[in-house]
Chains A and B, each alone.
Chain A
Amino acid sequence: MNAIIFSAGFGVIMMFCSFLISNKSSYRHIAVVGLLLLLVVNVMETNGFDIFHINSYGMLSYTRFGLFFNTIAIGSTLIYVLLTGKDIERLGNYVAEYFTLIFFVLCGVCILSSYNNLLMLFLGIEILSIPLYILTGSDKRNLKSNEASLKYFLMGAFSTGLMLMGIALMYGGTGTFSLDVVRSQTGLYKGVSFLEIIGLLFLMVSMAFKVSAAPFHFWTPDVYDGAPGVFTSFMATVAKVAAFVAFLKLCYVRMTATSTAIDWQLLFAIIIITTLLFGNITAVFQQSVKRMLAYSSIAQAGFMLFALFSLNDFGSKGLLMYSAAYCLATIGLFAVLVKMKDVTFEGYNGLAKTQPVLAATNAIFLLSLAGIPLTAGFLAKYYMLASVIATGSYTWLVVIAVLFAAVSVYYYFRVVQAMYFKTGDPQTEPITGSFKIGLIALAAIIIIIGVLPQTLFNWLYF
């Protein structure tokens, strides 16, 4: 409860700051203070100290898993604001409002990690997405940004409609919105009703929209490409993994309960294969690094879907690991990308000569995304594949996943190749020393998690 209330409250405070404080660069510092506070109160709650005692009548339930995910999400946002805060300021006149919306998105993230009722799932998803529609269109004069935001909005609202239909049908089948239905063997709600299955299918489609799993991924590249780079970074990381965590909980409770009626594993296997196929194969043919990262985020979503497929301890721990590894690496990549004047592959040519620190850290982030050993991304992928092996069925999925991971190495290494082995004159925005130190620290975190995973997992033990 701490994180939900503090994030919403701080959003309001940032809104007041927009007219009480006129100095533009102080907004960023206030936001950093707010995020630090949020991190502290969330860690306090993880250790059993809750400031607010609000009875939510079973609508929210706080698990260690959810609270730990909150820590990862807030921590990634903090790193994101520290690294790209200056670029957010360059974007327009409404800097405080951008930070407000980021806080509201975090409020949605915290609801999604702790919901226990379909009403809260709906509200969480909406609190998460509506600020993102605005952030996508924040570059008002840019036609690409307008187009991306309208497309995102229409697709998002459509998938919300599908989700609501699913929730209504599930209510018709079970008579409650609570996730943990007591299924009596006699009387009215005996067994699994047909309505509940149809409702779950609707919900699955709408959540697949939100996490951009194929065949519902087509909005992703356009939106990620058109949105301002600083906000693509946030959208593709924190918002996406939060939708995954919500999806995981839904699968854990409702889909295992209905697995006698429908083979969810088969459905997820099909979704995983198509997601990996579309994401990886299309990413190979991209000319722009930003668009390549959009497709690669679809491909990474394919890997995260393994947690929903296998639904075991490996999977849920692996999802936390994956969200940490994926968020950190992608935030770092985008932090460098928004500094580049030209975001095509040619724009990176010869970066190692002019900006060796940027090139080296960028290479580490790319290695982590590709899943090379000694980085966090390797262990994350390892846990995902181990979870499939642990289920004992569909083990051939592992082979396919490894093959596609090999494909992904090709397009990640194209950037490394452009930076190190090609000559060119890359144009960048002026780069400060503190930005470089931030990048080095981020790369160090990724390697430390990769070499000593127990540092993360000792915390994570739940």
Chain B
Amino acid sequence: MPIQNYIILAAALFCIGVSGVLIRRNAIIVFMCIELMLNSVNLMLVAFSKMHYALSNAQGKGISESIGSDAQLFVFFIMVVAAAEVSVGLAIIVMMYRNVHSTDINFLNRLKN
């Protein structure tokens, strides 16, 4: 399958994530949209990794197994960091829910005035 399809899919997922963050008012759904953004990046990194591997082979620069593997390693780091962020983020959301009994972001306007 051509690389464009993967890039378009990843870009579409990323746009859905960004618009979700900007539009939705529920903290947990906003959070899910952020995760969607991170996962679209994972998809794009893996697609680029395969692309660079295939291109360097096609150019006859000598077949090296390691080309493109750094992006796949990066994906693991993104997963680990996302897990750490989830643990902190859910704790913060739970802490807010205990105090106001809601996860609505519209509650977040006390500091404005």
Partner-B contacts on A (CB < 8 A): 119, 122-123, 126, 130, 133-134, 137, 140-141, 143-144, 146-151, 153-154, 157-158, 160-162, 164-165, 167-169, 171-172, 175-177, 187-188, 221-222, 225-226
Contact = CB atoms under 8 A, between A and B. Distances in A.
Which of A149, A171, A177 is the most central at the interface, judged by chain B CB atoms within 10 Å of its CB? A171
B14 A165 contact: yes
Contacts, number: 117
B59 A187 contact: yes
Contacts of A177: 70-71, 74
A128 B57 CA distance: 39
Given A177-B70, A225-B111, A157 B41 contact: no
B92 A146 contact: yes
B55 interface: yes
A165 B111 CA distance: 31
A144 B96 CA distance: 10
B88 interface: yes
Interface residues of B, number: 46
Contacts of A144: 110-111
Given A177-B70, A188-B55, 12 more contacts: A126-B81, A133-B88, A146-B96, A149-B95, A150-B108, A154-B34, A154-B89, A160-B85, A161-B17, A164-B37, A164-B41, A172-B48
Nearest to B52: A175
A94 to B, nearest CB: 13
Contact of B74 (A119, A134, A141, A143): A119
Given A146-B96, A147-B108, A172-B48, A161 B77 contact: no
Contacts of A137: 92, 95
8 contacts: A122-B78, A133-B92, A149-B92, A150-B96, A151-B108, A162-B37, A168-B41, A168-B48
Given A144-B111, A175-B52, A164 B38 contact: yes
B61 to A, nearest CB: 8
A26 B94 CA distance: 31
Nearest to B73: A119
Contacts of A143: 99-100, 110
A162 B107 CA distance: 25
Contacts of B31: 154, 157
Interface of B: 7, 14, 17-18, 21, 27, 30-31, 34, 37-38, 40-41, 44-45, 48, 51-52, 55-56, 59, 67, 70-71, 73-74, 77-78, 81, 84-85, 88-89, 91-93, 95-96, 99-100, 105, 107-108, 110-112
Contacts of A161: 14, 17-18, 34, 37-38, 41
A225 B109 CA distance: 13
B27 A165 contact: no
Contacts of A167: 41, 74
Nearest to A126: B81
Contacts of A140: 95
B21 A122 contact: no
Contact of A168 (B44, B96, B112): B44
Contacts of B92: 133, 137, 146, 149-150, 153
Which of A123, A161, A177 is the most central at the interface, judged by chain B CB atoms within 10 Å of its CB? A161
Given A133-B92, A150-B93, A153-B89, A126 B84 contact: yes
